[in-house]
A and B are shown apart, each in its own frame.
Chain A
Amino acid sequence: MAEKYTYSPEIPEVFRCRVPLHGTRQAFLMNGKLREEEGEDSLLKIEAGSPLGFNLNVTKGTILPDSLQIITVRDSENTEPISYTNNLSFGAMSESNILLCSHTLSMDEFKTDSEMNINVYEGARVNIVVMQNEHNRSLHKVRFNVNLAKDSYIRINIVSLHGGMLENEIEARLTGEGATCELNGIYLVDGTQEIHTTVNMHHLVPRCTSRQLFKGILDDESKALFFGKIKVSQDAQKTEAYQANHNLLLSRKAKVYAQPQLEIYADDVKCSHGATSGRLDEMALFYMRSRGIGAEEAKILQQLAFVYAVLEKIYNEELRQRLLDLVEARLRGEFGHCTNCSMNCC
C-alpha cells in the first residue's frame, strides 16, 4: 500500500507523521494551502480551495476502502493570521473515514481561523477523527458546520492534546429523518492553555438521534469552556438527544465553565444533559496504591481511565491505540520537550 502514501517534499524534515493505518492517503494543508501529489486514486477528489482550504468530494455510493488523512500544518513560511474554508461533501450512500490532524512546526505565533462545511447526504456514513497538537503560541479556531440528510450518520471524535488556545465550534443540523450525529471529544490542558467547545445541536425533523460526550482533564491554571445546546424544533418528534460533559480538575487554579442547555419545542422526545467537574477519586487512588502501584502511576491510570470512555469510540482500532499512546504520553508530561511536535517524536 506504500505507493498510495503521498508525501510532499516541501514538508520540513522535522515532521514525521506515521499514523499506522495501512493505505492511509495523506494530504497536507500548509498554512492553509493544499499540497498533494496527484494520485491515481480517482475514488476521491480533493482540490485546493480558492485561495486557501480544500474541497473534498466523495461521490454518491463511493465506499472509501482506506482512510484519508489531512494534516494541517502551520510553519514559519507564513506567520500571518490566516482564515479559510474547507468543504467536505459526502454523497448519498457513501462511506468515509477521515483523520484531520493539526500541528505547528515553528515557534512563531499563529492564528488560524477555519471553517469546515460538512454535508452528509442521504444514507451516507462518515467517521471523522480530529487530532489537535499545537504549541502554546497557537490560537486555532475551527468551526464545523454539519448538515445531515435522511438516514445519514456522522461521528466526530475530537482529541485535543495540546494547544495555547483551541476553539472548536460545532453547528450540527439534523435535517433529514433518521439521521444520527455523534460528537465526542477529549481535551487535555495545562499551564495557561485554554479550550472552548461550543456545540449547537439542532434537531429539525422527527426521529433523529444525537449523542455527545466531552471529557476534559485540566491542570495548573488552564481553563475550559463548554457551551452545549440541544434545540429540538416543534416538528422533531421522537427525537433522542443526549449530551454529557465531564471534567477532571487536577489543580485548584484550573477552571471549568460548563453551560449545558436544552431547548425543546416538541413533546415526544428523549433528551438528557449533564455536566460535572470533580477531582481525582481518592478511594480509587487508594485502591490502586494498596496493590503496590505508586501514587503517581495511580494518578495517571485514573486519568487514562477517565478519558477512555471517549477514546473507545474511535472507529479504527490501530488509530485508537495510537491516540491512546499519545494521550498517555501527554498525561505523563512527555510533551514538554517537543512543543512543535509531530505525531511521532515522543
Chain B
Amino acid sequence: MLEIKGLHASIEGKEILKGIDFSVKAGEIHAIMGPNGSGKSTLSAVLAGRDHFDVTAGEVMYEGFDLLKLSPEDRARNGIFLGFQYPVEIPGVSNVNFMKTAINEKRKHMNLPPLTAAEFLKLMREKMEVVEMDKSFSSRGVNVGFSGGEKKRNEIFQMAMLEPKLAILDETDSGLDIDALRIVAAGVNKLKKPDNAFIIITHYQRLLDYIVPDIVHILYDGRIIKTAGKELALEVESRGYDWLINP
C-alpha cells in the first residue's frame, strides 16, 4: 500500500528526516515511537502533504502512484487520513457542515453524487456512536471549546466518517485520560479492516496496550534505527531509548 524509500525532508534548510525507509501493507498496524524531536510529526505531516516542509530526496509510493506529487486534498480524497496531534479549532464552521463538505468533496472525486441530507445524518449518527460522541456536538464549531479528549475523539470520528485506506495518527494518545484513551483505541479497533492500514505515532507504550501493532519502528534523529514486532514497544517502555541510541 505504502512504500517509503530514502525520504529526506527539511524545514527552512534544517534537515529533519534523514533517510526513512519502510513499507506498509494492507491490514497492518505500524507503530512509530521515538523521543521528542526525532521527526515523528514531520514524517506524518510530509505524508499528509503539508507544504511547510521540503522533501529533498527519496520517494513515497502509495497504491502504485507518486504520493508526493499530490496536493493534501487529493491525498485525502484518495484515502489518506492524518489524525492531528493538535486538532485545529475552526469557529463558525459547524462539525456537520465541515464533515458534509469533506465527504461530498471526496464523493465528487470518486464520481459519486453528494449524499442526501438523510443519508448524511444517518452516517453521522452511526459514526458518532463509534466514539461515544454527544449529539450536541454536531452543531458546535469544529473543535471549538472541546476538551483535549473531545478533540482527539473528534479526530477518530472524522476518520470513521471518511473511511480512509491509510490512517496516520499523530500522538492521538497525548493528553488523554484513560477513559478517552480507551474510546479512541476502541474506535481504531472497530475501523480496522483487512483492506486498510494504520500508522500510529506515539510517545508511550500505553496506547499500544489497546491497539496491538504488527510492526514497531523506532525513529531517532530522522532515521529509523530499529524495526521489530510488538514486543519492541514493551522493551522500550522498560528500558527507554538509550540502549537503541547508544548501542
A→B interface (CB under 8 Å): 281-284, 286-295, 297-298, 301-302, 304-309, 312
Contact = CB atoms under 8 A, between A and B. Distances in A.
A297 B105 contact: yes
A294 B49 CA distance: 13
A286 B72 contact: yes
Contacts of A288: 90, 98, 102
Interface stretch (B56-64, B80-88, B125-133): B80-88
Contacts of A282: 52
B162 A305 contact: no
B247 interface: no
Contacts of B77: 292
A299 to B, nearest CB: 12
A301 B90 contact: yes
Given A292-B76, A294-B73, A284 B105 contact: no
A57 to B, nearest CB: 38
B69 to A, nearest CB: 15
B196 interface: no
Contacts of B49: 286, 289-290
Given A292-B106, A305-B93, A287 B73 contact: no
Contacts of A301: 90, 93, 98, 101
A282 B53 CA distance: 13
B42 interface: no
B181 to A, nearest CB: 22
Interface of B: 48-52, 71-73, 75-77, 81-82, 84, 87-88, 90-93, 98, 101-103, 105-106, 109, 141, 158, 162
A305 B91 contact: yes
A285 to B, nearest CB: 9
A312 B141 CA distance: 12
B91 A308 contact: yes
Contacts of B52: 282, 286
A117 to B, nearest CB: 34
18 contacts: A286-B50, A288-B90, A289-B73, A289-B76, A290-B50, A290-B75, A290-B81, A292-B73, A292-B76, A292-B77, A292-B162, A293-B102, A293-B105, A301-B90, A301-B98, A304-B93, A305-B90, A308-B91
B73 A295 contact: yes
A297 B101 contact: yes
A287 B170 CA distance: 13
A240 B102 CA distance: 42
A289 B71 contact: yes
A290 B48 contact: yes
- Of B50, B73, B98, B103, most A-chain CB atoms within 10 Å: B73
The 7 A-B pairs at the shortest CB distance, nearest first, are namely: A308-B92, A305-B92, A292-B76, A289-B72, A287-B88, A291-B102, A289-B73
Nearest to B90: A305
Contacts of A290: 48-50, 72-73, 75-76, 81-82, 84
B101 A293 contact: yes
A167 B90 CA distance: 31
A287 B76 CA distance: 11
